[in-house]
Structure 1
Amino acid sequence: MHDIKLVRANPAAFDAALARRGAPPAAAEALRLDDLRVEAIRITQAAQTTRNELSRQIGAAMKRGDALEAERLKAEVKAAVDAAAAATPEVHEAARDALLAALPNVLDAEVPEGLDESANVVLHTHGAPANFAFTPKQHFELGEAFGMDFGNAAKLAGTRFTILRGPLARLERALGQWMLNLHTEQHGYTEVAVPLLVNDATMYGTGQLPKFSEDLFRTTDGRWLIPTAEVPLTNLVRGEILAESALPLRFTALSPCFRSEAGSAGRDTRGMLRQHQFPKVELVSICLPQDSAAEHERMTACAERVLTDLGLTWRRIMLSAGDTGFGAAKTYDLEVWLPGQQAWREISSCSNCRDFQARRMDARFRPAGGKGTEFLHTLNGSGVAVGRALIAVLETFQQVDGSVLVPEVLRPWMGGVEMLHPA
């Protein structure tokens, strides 16, 4: 959500910020709607002043017995009341806010120019792709021997679902539990168990509504299945005024995520890279405005630690203007190397949203020793996507005989098992 005061202060700069994302100008329309709101408020206030003054005159006319004058003045009062009713400042305000709510966040100056992922910039690479003495398989070629079942998943639910049995089910559980412990015990995040169904206001607060309704699943009673735990975690501060001393707040959750994958027909149809339901460990930070840039670096480093400790090859990239998400001012993606695919694939996305979500949620803090309130800054990131971590482990640590080496950090969560063998 955008501050209309900032739009009014520099409409050209606001339109230039939209142009970086390939979006058309919107400042003039936003200001037109706001001008209508301001004029409607003026009419309403003027009508109220007129009504008060005429009411006093009506009383005086009736006191002196001038019924005709009283009736004339009553007609003027009715005209003033009708004018106030027709002004409807709330209608213009709603139209203005609907326009602003549909516009993406203003990008950080560091975000590289470009309209798509081809302009993303690689910032750092950790490790190097391993050389295999054999042709490495993709995860779905390996997984079927361990109990990765796409046929029965399709029978039960349709495409883009997967059933994991036996060692793969345990490996997925081990990954999620280990990540949670890492973030809570070593990175200072508080674990939260969140609702998987949320209301419209919650989806609006983090920017999923109204723009991305087609990407979501909705229940028959009007609730929404969460596309990520970012949604309920960030909304924990919706409508709140926090003390500066309470910040930062850092939350983490392991939850199923549900996405309709609208518009992804034909993409990643084999395997479990793009699913309607998948588990993910989410990281959310709520902080002071002056701390959000440093918090972004910290959060991304926490996600990177997961990949490093698993022994995976990964890289950090900064998304370009055209590839940065709707609510983000700046985003780092972490990509992991998948030997079976011979490709880099996203496994985490960490974003600084600044005050964009806080304005939608009306989430504020009260500065220590200061007056008034200010909007909080919010950040979110994957810490990391559990299913994609499972894929990366399978492809990275596969052996020539089809077995898979278990990363050392996961072995305590796997009952000490060091190697998974196909059935």
Structure 2
Amino acid sequence: MEFLIDLLSQLPTRRYLRPLVADVAVVAECHLSALYKHEKGKLFAQLVNLLQFYEKFEINDHVGTQLTDDEVLQSHYDRFQSFQLLAFKKTPKVQPPLANIGAINKRADLSKKLSSLSPMDLRDLVCHKLKLISEEDPWSERVDFLIEVMISFFEKQQSQKEAINALPLYPNEQIMWDESLVPSINYSGEGCLALSKLNLQFLTLHDYLLRNFNLFHLESTYEIREDIQEAVPHLLAYVNNEGETAFRGWSRMAVPIKEFKITKSGKPLKSTMFCFYFQFALHLSLLSAEEAAKASVLQRLGLQYVRGCEIIKVRDEEGTLMNDFTGRIKRDEWRLPKGELRTVTVTLDIAQCHMGVSNIAEKGADDVYGTFDILMRRKPKENNFKAILESIRDLMNEYRIVPDWLHNVFLGYGNPSAAQWTNMPDLLEMVGFKDTFLDAD
């Protein structure tokens, strides 16, 4: 799988390999394999998803130019319209001609339409009329394989721009302790990982930025994981007589939470509020000594949920504003807390940390956020990952951000000397300095 991914992610080999991968339906066979669905095949499933991503990559394989969203959508419409015309003439049992494309190009709708066909009609449609696979393929007798091939070919794919904008910038506990994505420090390099590679050649500028985005995101996740594993044990968590989680220790970077409640819920917006450090809310589920010996790192720490957020403002028990991270209130207007400080109210922005869920209240997220026990911060100098990821994501939303004379050289193609100013096709013979210099002297 790693070898196929490497070949598909470079243009010279992609041109010849991609038609072969599509012709024998490698991705469809992998999706139906036992290893893909097995609990021990998690790494294999991640590699298959990465292979599928590069097989469907938005690029013109012959010219090597990046396809715009409109071009990808138009190609999908043309392909589906051809299928509708064919079905209208040859296979009326499918009945897709009278429906609009948006109503039948989803996986569930396609599966329902194709399931109405008999195995012989379905095989005839896939192997002979559409010629998506060869009739000599040993898998061509399987109905589920034929349906999977049809779905993978006609299903509407999520655009890369939509996918990158839906990704959360904050990691959670599922990504943080996934060894196939974020290996530990003692990784020997013997096995493969489901990671993008920074090669000498890239498909498009978007491909280059996306690889850097994913790698930097995982690198930041590893650093955050190390900070959590260092701070949490200092709190010395235990279960009190009431059966609740309590703490007898102290940590410089983490404090227990007395109460947590969501005051407002809505669609996630791009936050413009500056934050000095990163926050984590952690929920502890303690284990016995015998269970801890067999448990994973996540279980030994007692963590169940990890979510990221930004601090917006901090108030004391009388409601006096202590800190403002929005920049809208002058520092001389801040007020020191009066008397003995017992309660501090911290207002957080957790809009972008819930894995792309637009309304956390509707998804039952209160059950998750209501169990948070710890608020942890990171050192400001090490906590600039969110701004960097936002910058890369903003660049990926632009179509062309590199000049034409540097584009091919930047991606690793063409002659590097073509980017020198002496070899420019539009080289100026005379430069007008206006009134900057009076004469040559």
Give the TM-score category using the shorter length.
under 0.3
Greater per-residue strand proportion: 1
Give the TM-score normalised by structure 2.
0.20
Give the TM-score normalised by structure 1.
0.21
